[in-house]
Amino acid sequence: MKKHLLLLIFPAISLFLFVSGYWLFSDWIKLAISGETADARIEAILFDRDQSEQNSSLLYRLEHEIVMTRASGDLLKLTALNNQITAITEDGRALDLSEGLIAAVGGNEVFANDLQQLVSSAKDRTQWFMLRQSRIEDDTRFVRLEKVEFAYLANGPTESLALFELDENDVVRPTSAGDGISMQTVTTQAIFSSEDVEALAERKGDFMEGFTIFLDEKPMEENKREFYIFNDPYSTIQYPIFVFEHQDSKYAILSDLGKHGDPFLAFPYYADAGALFYEDQPTKAILIGEIVAPEPGEKYLNWFSKISEIVMTRWIYPGMFFICALLAMLVGGIFASFLLFPVKKLPPVPEDDKTEEVAEK
């Protein structure tokens, strides 16, 4: 009787985990089953800092200007708005971006991906780019890169910045300019160079030759000597704000997903994403990632990291409950099979046979 009662332990654990997981995450599960989906885009980021200091920020516009110098002296200039390259000039000649960035650079997928990453990534990506360029022996290599970034912000208390709307140009802005909110601009300039070999050796291989960051023309604290999105300490939480359209109306929603320090790989600023919502409640939409094939020139490890983050950030918690419930059910089934279908014991070997075996050995 006790053996039969023990068989109920693991099924009971499995049932408890199933019920608990469904009870805790029923909203997500119901939404995933019966909700509507729509294409979305990350249009802004809320930087949630120490609320007692009222210094949180809402990033709603990002501009970049990059000037790259080859060993031959030729220049390549590009400008970008919200991490999207809008113009490229090579040695004074404007490149045609009407058919895409890859076509504009002569079909070179790797170089096109490098240019996009130089705009949207942290300084480490630029360091790697300059390192690869330093190994090229002809005059086409880039020996100097200057990047200037303009981050347009609304600064103030987190609770005030969390109230926002779309203006007439579909730009995310705080609902009220009052309540301690101020509009400011952070300008970051970084120079990377391999022209002076001796100076590069003194910097121990650090290609960053100069770095300055200003808040409305006043020097700003350099937390990491990084561009604005990557310059905050780990204590800062970044919340994406996504915009989607439903029934001829546009909605701007603050995501419930936040990440400490750096932005999401899966939900970078001004990237495509997805919205999941009930048709009659679009204002309660949640942010979901889109699992797509790697972009041209993108490394598979980076693509795999994005896919992992899409799955882990949204579905890891309910998934843990249900996976553990399945494991408990599996273990219970194995134990039940031992009791219901016991292994037949072999008959004992007669003593005479044991004596003969010993003698033979």
pLDDT confidence of residue 252: 92
Amino acid residing at 56: S
Q: What is the pLDDT of residue 131?
A: 93
Helix (H, G, I), strand (E, B) or coil at 239: strand
Predicted confidence at residue 350, as pLDDT, reads 67
Q: Tell me the pLDDT of the chain (361 aa) as tens digits.
A: 566 666 677 778 888 888 887 888 777 778 888 888 899 999 999 998 865 555 789 999 999 999 999 999 999 999 999 999 999 999 889 999 888 888 888 888 889 989 999 999 899 999 999 999 999 888 889 999 999 999 999 988 888 888 888 887 778 888 765 567 888 999 999 999 998 888 989 988 899 999 999 988 888 776 678 999 998 888 888 999 999 999 888 999 999 888 888 888 888 888 888 899 988 889 888 888 877 777 766 777 777 887 787 777 777 777 788 888 888 888 888 877 777 776 666 677 666 655 555 555 5
- Cβ-based neighbours of 276, under 8 Å, separated by 6 or more: 31, 32, 35, 36, 37, 285, 286, 287, 288
Characterise 91 by phi-psi region: left (phi > 0), alpha (psi -120 to 50), beta (else). left
Domain definitions of the chain by residue range: 27-318
Task: Report the candidate in 163, 141, 124 with the shortest Cα–Cα distance to residue 73.
Answer: 141
Give pLDDT, residue 253.
92
**What is residue 61's predicted lDDT score, i.e. its pLDDT?**
92
How far is Cα 24 from Cα 22, in angstroms, rounded to an integer?
A: 6
Cβ proximity of 298 and 113 under 8 Å: yes
